[in-house]
Amino acid sequence: MKQPTPPLSPDSTPVRTEVHFKRFTLGQRWEHAILLLSATILLLTGLPQKYRDTSWSQYILSTPERVELVQQIHHITALILTALVVYHLGHAILLLARRKLPGNMLVSWQDIRDTWKMTKYLLFLSKEKPEFGKYNFEQKVTYWFIFFGVGIMVVTGFILWFPEAWTRLFPGGIIPAARLSHSTEAIVAAAFVIIWHFFHVLIERLNLSIFTGWLNAEDTRTYHPLEYQRLGGGSTEKSETGDSQ
């Protein structure tokens, strides 16, 4: 628990009020939870299949029945993930049709400029830190990497699940290519999420807003100042100076 900083609270009442801003809808929170669970199950059931020639894999897949069971779990979970992808895309298309798609997750030139600014800032070439909106470029990288990663996994996964059907329309070469891609993309994606996403939401700061739906005013002001202003939290200039704890 943080102590209220004395210079800021001479007039304030002893009751400490914390303002929270709505960050994610219930639907988005459910989407994330399902993605998190299904991806974890898919990874855990996929790894022993990828590394079948290792002893730890053969310890897990100790009988042919277990191999089949693990494959069935993988397939069922894959269907859940596919349903999520369909919902996510369908929902986005629906919002787009109603002209209600926020569009704040789309990559813009501002993100490129922010990346450049941030790199200079991290290398101590500049003291100026870029100011972010609701989604900063780090979060956009996370979203779009997972967006395309899941896309690749779903498509290649279905190629591997129904190779006979796919080769009726496409050349046979896509089967071994899908196998290589499915197997490699999984490892790259898992490593990326651990390095990049886990660092940003667990280590740099604990950000559980995707589970709770709310982000407190202080974090919003610090990490998403433009969003803070948009939500009517006032100018961030003053708060940044008062922010030095």
Partner 1 sequence: MARFDPHRRWLAFILAGISVLIVGFGFAASAWAQEEPGDTETYCLSCHANPDLAMELPSGESLSLYISPEMLSQSIHSPLGIECQACHTEITSYPHPEVTAQSQRELSLDLYEACAKCHSDNYDKTQDSVHAQVMADGNENAPICTDCHGAHDVHPPDQPRANISTTCGQCHTAILEEYKNSIHGGALIDEDNPDVPVCTDCHGVHNIQDPRTSQFRIESPEMCAGCHADAELMEKYGLPADVYSLYNLSWHGVDVNVYKANWPTIWHESAVCTDCHGVHNIRTTDDPASMVNPANLLSTCQNCHPGVGPNWTGAWTGHNQISLERTPFVYYTDVFYSLFAPIVLWGSAIYVVLKILHILIERTRRSLK
Binding residues for partner 1, per CB under 8 A? 52-53, 58, 61-64, 119, 121-124, 145, 163-164, 167-168, 170-177, 179-181, 184-185, 187-188, 191-192, 195-196, 199, 204, 244
Closest to partner 1 by CB, 21 vs 224, is 224
Minimum distance between the CB of residue 163 and partner 1, rounded to whole angstroms? 7
Closest to partner 1 by CB, 31 vs 136, is 136
Closest to partner 1 by CB, 175 vs 210, is 175
Minimum distance between the CB of residue 74 and partner 1, rounded to whole angstroms? 16
Closest to partner 1 by CB, 86 vs 187, is 187
Minimum distance between the CB of residue 193 and partner 1, rounded to whole angstroms? 10
Minimum distance between the CB of residue 141 and partner 1, rounded to whole angstroms? 8
Amino acid at residue number 126 = S
Minimum distance between the CB of residue 140 and partner 1, rounded to whole angstroms? 14
The Cα–Cα gap between 65 and 174 comes to: 29
20 in Cβ contact with 218 (< 8 Å): no
Closest to partner 1 by CB, 38 vs 142, is 142
The Cα–Cα gap between 37 and 33 comes to: 6
Nearest to 210 by CA among 36, 24, 40, 31: 24
The Cα–Cα gap between 101 and 81 comes to: 22
Nearest to 140 by CA among 103, 172, 176, 175: 103
Which whole-number Å values give the CA distances from 10 to 7, 15, 243, in the listed order? 7, 13, 16
